[in-house]
Chains A and B, each alone.
Chain A
């Protein structure tokens, strides 16, 4: 198992945004993680913790300030050659949060989905292009007759399927799903999540799943990274994080998940965690191995008190 070569390696990624001469926002401040082929890595944290920024830096919608990103052995963090850009733009794809805003309302579904193919000249004839789109539509649970419609003719769940189809048609190795199901309601969420799992089984695509809904993340992810204020405070397999959370922030996140169980829900009090008053300095901490793949960002003394 441990011999596997990671698909994506993120080393000490930093993403700063300069607001003014004196003020720089450190959205992501030294994050390390790896994603292996065919697995789902869940990235959770509150709004403003830098989850989306990480996703966007990896796919190069932002220029990373520092750090190294290796994708299938290719360094994609510095200046990109034309060849690397092409590789990155085909093999890594993104699904966005708002399925209405990310689809061009003036284009037909077939043209939206085939846009990537058009740009990279990945078909020989019009027929082949059509055939490819129909195949993908079928895969995401839509039918070929949907191809000639416009996005507004679809419901929210169907639109998100189109977004997934658009990402899948490039046959990517990694899909970054940035809050891809947060805007959908419960029963539709379940449909989309099942679809993503199915696809993963068939195509062995890896997912970076960014979300704040921990119950869904638990359900879909193999491994989880908990992000707070630009630092990865705890990472490990889903099992390790949920059964043995160490960091107080992880604990507070887990305690806040609402459950459909009125009796225990009425008694439950969410733990709160306030960075300013907790006395923890993320810059001082180092990654400590708990066991297996479970790491916690802490200093020696902090770790000792948390694990007591």
Chain B
């Protein structure tokens, strides 16, 4: 099957001007997403997950500067295929043609992303009326349909509700309904379930998957919860200090992780089956990106670091056709280092449980 590219980010580099100097937040990032697939971006806070997506939406804050790179977005205008570099569009053009219409975003906190003074019906219809000049009656019908799609009972009654009358999980459903109103090609979810509790989180994740099956939309999912990634994603990109350090299919990254940072992230998750008394932690803290980085950003926190890590930044090494990792450990001259024993054991028991 031919996979159509929807979004392709090449060599993106973003910096922010601050009083302390220029901070290089994104340092040469490559990422591509195909139609109907879900890619999850994981990493610590401050690794640049959200900034990347904000750049794609053209909503970077004012002190942000894009130094280089391109974000190519492919979409259909009627029958015609359009390739567009989103970074070349002005803010006005973005709002008119892209934001909400082709790329929609779901934010973390459903209370602050909804307008408290408008009924939820009006908020769902707003985008359709603005972008497509839909007749009010049509828009109303579509809105009711959408509410049904996101699993809200009594949709017609709910249309007249205000956000404060709904619970957190319901509000996040409304936000998803709004984002789907214009049939976008791409849905960006920025930690949509972090503020919700586990049972509701499970329902929202199932909802997003369900919608993807029905509409064939592509999804970028930003999170730091690896359990969520395992459930929802087809592909995973692990970010560290403004770069992608490992990417591959979920199975590859979870069962055959190659980068020491990914090992650390996976080990830090508490395991329901283990009885170990101490949780693994990644030593140290993320690097200060104020300084130019000419070595592996993870080297100082990495117990497997080689001498070369302190001198030169590793390129992406190919593990398989879909699996890449940026660590010198994969170089042919590197000593053979395997993942920590505990993690190996944990993965083995997981794989055994399946068979």
Residues of A near any B CB (own CB < 8 A): 46-48, 155-157, 185-191, 193-194, 197, 212-216, 218-219, 242, 252-253, 255-266, 268-270, 272-273
Residues of B near any A CB (own CB < 8 A): 44-45, 167-168, 196-203, 205-206, 224-231, 233, 250-251, 254-255, 264-266, 268-272, 277-282, 285, 350-351, 353-354
Per CB-CB distance, the 4 closest pairs between chain A and chain B, nearest first, are A258-B227, A270-B202, A265-B230, A190-B279
Shortest Cβ distance from A212 into B: residue = B197
Q: Which listed residue, A185, A215, A269, A273, touches B270 by the CB 8 Å rule?
A: A215
Q: Which residues of A contact B196 (CB under 8 A)?
A: 47
Q: Which listed residue, B230, B272, B353, touches A215 by the CB 8 Å rule?
A: B272
Q: Which residues of A contact B266 (CB under 8 A)?
A: 260
Q: Which residues of A contact B198 (CB under 8 A)?
A: 46, 212-214, 253, 256-258
- Is B282 within 8 A of A187, CB to CB? yes
- Is A262 within 8 A of B250, CB to CB? yes
Task: Known A187-B44, A193-B279; judge A155-B270 contact (CB<8 A).
Answer: no
- Is A258 within 8 A of B230, CB to CB? yes
Q: Which listed residue, B227, B255, B264, touches A265 by the CB 8 Å rule?
A: B227
Q: Which residues of B contact A188 (CB under 8 A)?
A: 44
Q: Which listed residue, B197, B202, B224, B250, touches A258 by the CB 8 Å rule?
A: B202
Give the docked Cα–Cα distance between A47 and B197 (Å).
7
Chain A contact residues: helix, strand, loop or mixed: helix
Give the docked Cα–Cα distance between A270 and B200 (Å).
10
Q: Which residues of B contact A193 (CB under 8 A)?
A: 270, 279
Q: Which residues of B contact A272 (CB under 8 A)?
A: 199, 203
Give the docked Cα–Cα distance between A43 and B281 (Å).
24
Q: Which residues of B contact A157 (CB under 8 A)?
A: 285
Task: Known A214-B198, A216-B270, A218-B270; judge A264-B354 contact (CB<8 A).
Answer: yes
- Is A187 within 8 A of B199, CB to CB? no
- Is A218 within 8 A of B227, CB to CB? no
- Is A186 within 8 A of B199, CB to CB? no
Task: Known A47-B168, A187-B281, A190-B268; judge A257-B203 contact (CB<8 A).
Answer: no
